[in-house]
Amino acid sequence: MIFDNEENDNDEKTTFQDSLCSYEETQHRIKKDKMHKERKQQINHLRETYTTMEKRWKSCCFSADKGLIQFVVESVFAVQVILFCIVQMTRLHDCESQQLYSGILSLVIGILVPQPSINRHSDDQQNKQV
C-alpha cells in the first residue's frame, strides 16, 4: 500500500511536470509565432517600400514616376527622329540619298506600331463581360 501511494505521487508529479512543460512549450510557440508574424509584416513593409521606391525617381528638385519619364523621353526622341527623317526626305531630291532616311523612318514606325495579332481569348472575355 505504501508503495502504491508513492507510485500515485510520482504519477501526479510527472503529470504536473508534463503539463508544466507543455504549458511552457505552448508559451514558447506562441512567442515564436508572434515573432514570425512580426518579421513577415516587416518584410512585407520593406517589399512595399522598395517597390514604390523602384517606381519613383527622385531628384534634388522633384520626384516623378519612372514609367512616365521613360515614356515621355522615348516619345520625344521618336518624334524627333521621325521629323528629322521627313525633313531630310523632303530636302533631298536624289532617291539614293533618301534611302537612308526612309529606312530609319520605317524602322522607327515599325517599332512604335504594335504587331497585329488575333487574341481569341480576349474576344471571348469581352463578349462575356457584355
Sketch the domain layout of the chain as residue ranges. 1-58, 60-113
Average pLDDT over residues 98-115: 89
Phi then psi dihedrals of residue 60, to 5 deg: -65, -30
13 vs 105: CA distance, rounded Å: 91
pLDDT in tens, 36-85: 788 888 777 777 766 666 777 777 887 888 888 888 999 999 999 999 99
Task: Lowest mean pLDDT of 4-8, 51-55, 59-63, 123-127, name the range.
Answer: 4-8
Amino acid letter, residue 48: E
Task: Lowest mean pLDDT of 58-67, 94-103, 105-114, name the range.
Answer: 58-67
Q: How many CA atoms lie within 13 A of 117 on its CB side?
A: 7
Mean model confidence pLDDT for the chain: 76
Tell me the pLDDT band of 124, cut-offs 50, 70 and 90.
low
- Name the grid cell of 82: 521621325
Q: pTM (2 decimals)?
A: 0.48
Phi then psi dihedrals of residue 116, to 5 deg: -70, 145
Between residues 57 and 105, the one the model is more confident about: 105
Report the pLDDT value the prediction gives residue 38, as an integer from 0 to 100: 83
Phi then psi dihedrals of residue 100, to 5 deg: -60, -45
